[in-house]
Amino acid sequence: MNTYDIAVIGGDGTGPEVAREALKVSEAAACKFGFKINWHHFDFGGERFLKTGEVLPDSAVADLRRFKAIFLGAVGHPQVQPGILEKGILLRLRFELEQYINLRPVKLYRAEDCPLKDKGPEHIDFIVVRENNEGLYAGAGGNLFKGTPNEVAIQESINTRRGVDRCLKYAFDLAKKRRNGQPWKGLKPEDVAAGKTTQLTLCGKTNVLTYAFDLWWRAFQDIAPRYPTVKSDYAHVDAICMWFVKNPEWFDVIVTDNMFGDIITDLAAMIQGGLGVAAGGNLNPEGTSMFEPMGGSAPKYTGLNVINPLAAINAAGMMLDFLGESQAGAAIEAASVKIINTKIKSLAAGKMGFGTREVGDLVAAAV
Ligand code: IPM
Ligand code: MN
């Protein structure tokens, strides 16, 4: 029997509650598809920091590196100054474990969960590949004369050819595999005639960020010919925001830098029904990857059994798929879709018509 060792960081606020449901559903899938999971729990987060003054002990990264996957609930604590836990846990793990891809599927499961007029599941089904190790998140910069009228603050976007190339390669490989060779319905007849099956859009700002996105643009042009079935496309980030609202059906796969990826995936999460369902994976295909719901720790809902666990459950589905249990991943997604369409009133916290635990039970039973 295949056995997987998976690290779990429940984290802060509602993180542990949604993680519990994700683990419950994963167990149901393991039972159904005949594999075993050993969960290894770690208590990193705000509570531990407040007690010990330590965000991540020095040994943590080395401990976590032994796992192929980490499941993360959420970090962020109302009594801890913003940035300490986010940078000290989430970003540190993304960087030190070289999780260079942040993968965020955007799928609408039910028309009524979408705030856009006249858009349904047939219009919203794309995936964002966000570069996850560089850009403005690299922390390059500094300040001069801080606290004086002459203060200067510099925050630089770091883009390396190696980092951009590996991100683009991941995105093109993903686009090539997507939809199993069946042409994506957004393609024009002439694209299909030319043998294209999927589309990859580079999201940038080549008209203003003429150093960073010049590098991205050239790297994109250089790699594209190696993928004859992928139609390559480009859009500025501001235009993408407009089109997510007006014509989300124009997108299939999108690749972008760290900061733009952060921003457009919050917008994308809203058109797919909100943070209650939006999931993501921080991937190092050769090392340790980390899966998480996109939402934060939602302190005001903590312990009330009202938060929506579907984003965490979907993240667990992505994790099992990534580990090679693709049937289990697909079964979890199908079970969430079924429960959304037959049981759940709304995807918003406190309005589901069921509690957090009950939604986990329903999805687990459907698996
Ligand atoms: C996300 C979050 C993080 C980010 C924060 C919590 C540091 O917004 O995963 O998108 O900016 O990447
Ligand atoms: Mn974000």
pLDDT tens digit string along 318-346? 999 999 999 999 999 999 999 999 999 99
What does DSSP say about strands 230-236 and 152-158: parallel, antiparallel, or unpaired? unpaired
In a domain, 119, yes or no: no
| Residue 148 Ramachandran class (φ > 0 left, ψ -120 to 50 alpha, else beta) | beta
Find the 133 Cα to ligand 2 centroid distance in Å: 14
Same domain, 93 and 141: no
Closest CA to 203 of 211, 213, 195: 213
E strands within 165-247? 198-204, 230-236
Residue 235, domain CATH? 3.40.718.10
Same domain, 257 and 135: yes
315 lines ligand 1 (CB under 6 A): no
Residue 258 CA: which ligand 1 atom is closest? Answer: 12
Residue nearest to atom 9 of ligand 1 (CA): 294
Contact 80, 46 (CB under 8 A): yes
Find the 28 Cα to ligand 2 centroid distance in Å: 30
Residue 90 CA: which ligand 1 atom is closest? Answer: 7
Closest CA to 77 of 100, 109, 44: 44
pLDDT, tens digit, for every residue of 133-152?
999 999 999 999 999 999 99
* Residue given tokens 């509690």 in the structure block: 355
Contact 308, 298 (CB under 8 A): no
Same domain, 249 and 286: no
In a domain, 110, yes or no: no
What residue numbers bound the domain in which 234 lies? 125-271
What is the 8-class DSSP label of residue 68? Answer: S
What does DSSP say about strands 101-107 and 125-131: parallel, antiparallel, or unpaired? antiparallel
92 lines ligand 1 (CB under 6 A): no
Closest CA to 44 of 104, 99, 84: 84
Q: Which of 271, 300, 332 is the last residue of a domain?
A: 271
Same domain, 186 and 307: no
Residue nearest to atom 10 of ligand 1 (CA): 262
**pTM greater than the 0.95 cutoff:** yes
Beta bridge partners of 290: 70, 282
pLDDT, tens digit, for every residue of 35-86?
999 999 999 999 999 999 999 998 999 999 999 999 999 999 999 999 999 9
